[in-house]
């Protein structure tokens, strides 16, 4: 008997590739909807046999929820999809909300917990979270622990793979939006100090955003900086496989899928303590170093510490990163969906 799954993915990022294993399952029929991606991925997804039905943010979907066995939606901010989830639960259909926000005990979350428990909890059978901190949030919001599943927002194994034989550059790599929230200003100050103290590793920055010109200008004045504009996922993956260490210096980052993608490629990690994936993907001293988000001196110390490690240390760190990241790929995503269907 074929079971039908409806997946709504807001924006459809690169980790939307995780649905690829589901598409191959003869016992499943997947209907995939997505709002338009915020970045230009060209024809990237079609190369993997994935072609979501692109819809407008405010578009009402004219579907009968009773035809599905499971409905998965990203977040509860889209009113049309929230309404669809409500109708599905009334019809006895299983529903899953995907959440990547972290428990921070903010005033907004305190009120949000009350609102969720009263108005939203009954509309979702499961919550699917990328990691530990988002699981804590959903527990705080009243979801039963047994119905909270971890492992979303990972890296597709055929794109982000690992080869121990590759000789890596002595290079820090940063990938993402060039905006204040991503900690770009602190990154530049930290690297400038790192070089002034004798550090020799290069810094590769890949991305676009309103700080783009500042980053380019910095690169002309500070030796060791390599800047590249927005790249397609295959090009980013190629850079990750050659770099020794990923830096994610964000002031606030719910999860940080790039961390999982880089770890799957075998990089070491330097992560701000504001990055949600830190507890799941970084083992301090084993495959990377954490630092205080927003503190450029703390970042500089982390850069100096990790760049001073031996090749043997990096060999182990690379293997550890890859093993941890392999718990979040297209196969684990498919397992999670099958678990919800069979529950």
Closest CA to 82 of 69, 98, 106: 98
Stretch 46-66: mean pLDDT: 88
The two three-digit tokens of residue 62, written as one number: 């004219």
Q: Which pLDDT score is estimated for 163?
A: 86
Residues whose CB falls within 8 Å of the CB of residue 238, separated by 6 or more in sequence, listed in order? none
Q: What is the spatial distance between Cα 265 and Cα 246, in angstroms, rounded to a whole number?
A: 10
Q: How far is CA 115 from CA 32, 76, 209, in A?
A: 29, 12, 35
- Three-state DSSP state, 270: strand
Q: What is the spatial distance between Cα 19 and Cα 74, in angstroms, rounded to a whole number?
A: 14
Whether pLDDT at 25 is above 80: yes
The two three-digit tokens of residue 149, written as one number: 């599943």
Question: Mind listing the pLDDT tens digit for each residue in 269-321?
Answer: 999 999 999 999 999 999 999 999 999 999 999 999 999 999 999 999 999 99
Q: Let me know how many helices (H) and strands (E) the chain has, helices first.
A: 12, 13
pTM: 0.95
Stretch 145-169: mean pLDDT: 93
Residues whose CB falls within 8 Å of the CB of residue 133, separated by 6 or more in sequence, listed in order? 102, 103, 276, 279
Question: Mind listing the pLDDT tens digit for each residue in 198-233?
Answer: 999 999 999 999 999 999 999 999 999 999 999 999
Closest CA to 205 of 234, 232, 231: 231
Q: What is the spatial distance between Cα 304 and Cα 299, in angstroms, rounded to a whole number?
A: 9
Stretch 152-172: mean pLDDT: 93
- Banded pLDDT at 47 (limits 50, 70, 90): confident
Q: Which pLDDT score is estimated for 42?
A: 63
Whether pLDDT at 48 is above 90: no
Whether pLDDT at 340 is above 80: yes
Token match 């397992």: residue? Answer: 335
Closest CA to 98 of 337, 342, 343: 337
Stretch 102-121: mean pLDDT: 91
C-beta of residue 68 within 8 angstroms of C-beta of residue 6: yes
Q: What is the spatial distance between Cα 268 and Cα 243, in angstroms, rounded to a whole number?
A: 9
C-beta of residue 171 within 8 angstroms of C-beta of residue 204: yes
Q: What is the spatial distance between Cα 186 and Cα 282, in angstroms, rounded to a whole number?
A: 21
Q: What is the spatial distance between Cα 314 and Cα 318, in angstroms, rounded to a whole number?
A: 6
Residues whose CB falls within 8 Å of the CB of residue 90, separated by 6 or more in sequence, listed in order? none
Q: What is the spatial distance between Cα 219 and Cα 264, in angstroms, rounded to a whole number?
A: 28
Contacts 24+ apart (CB under 8 A), 217-221: 218/188, 218/192
Q: Residue 87: in which H helix or E strand, if any?
A: helix 79-90
Q: Which pLDDT score is estimated for 290?
A: 98
């Amino acid at each position: 008997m074929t079971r039908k799954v409806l997946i709504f993915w807001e924006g459809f990022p690169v980790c939307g590739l995780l649905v690829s294993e589901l598409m191959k399952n003869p016992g499943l029929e997947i209907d995939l909807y997505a709002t338009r991606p915020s970045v230009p991925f060209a024809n990237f997804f079609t190369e993997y046999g994935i072609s979501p039905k692109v819809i407008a943010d405010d578009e009402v979907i004219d579907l009968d929820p009773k035809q599905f066995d499971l409905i998965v939606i990203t977040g509860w901010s889209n009113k049309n999809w929230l309404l669809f989830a409500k109708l599905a639960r009334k019809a006895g259909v299983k529903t899953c909300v995907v959440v990547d926000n972290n428990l921070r005990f903010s005033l907004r979350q305190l009120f949000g917990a009350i609102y969720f428990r009263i108005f939203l909890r009954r509309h979702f059978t499961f919550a699917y979270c990328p990691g530990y901190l988002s699981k804590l949030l959903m527990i705080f919001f009243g979801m039963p622990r047994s119905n909270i599943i971890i492992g979303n927002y990972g890296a597709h194994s055929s794109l982000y793979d690992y080869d121990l034989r590759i000789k890596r550059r002595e290079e820090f790599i940063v990938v993402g939006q060039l905006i204040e929230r991503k900690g770009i200003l602190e990154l530049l100050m930290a690297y400038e100090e790192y070089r002034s103290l004798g550090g020799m590793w290069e810094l590769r920055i890949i991305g676009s955003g309103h700080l783009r010109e500042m980053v380019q200008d910095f690169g002309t004045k500070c030796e060791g900086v390599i800047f590249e504009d927005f790249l397609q996922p295959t090009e980013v993956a190629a850079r990750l496989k050659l770099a020794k260490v990923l830096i994610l210096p964000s002031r606030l980052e719910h999860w940080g899928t790039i961390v999982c993608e880089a770890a799957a490629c075998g990089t070491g990690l330097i992560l701000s303590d504001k990055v949600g994936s830190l507890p799941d993907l970084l083992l301090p001293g084993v495959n990377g170093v954490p630092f205080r988000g927003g503190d450029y001196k703390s970042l500089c110390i982390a850069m100096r510490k990790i760049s001073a490690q031996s090749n043997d240390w990096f060999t182990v760190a690379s293997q550890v990163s890859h093993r941890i990241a392999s718990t979040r790929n297209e196969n684990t995503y498919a397992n999670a969906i099958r678990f919800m269907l069979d529950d």
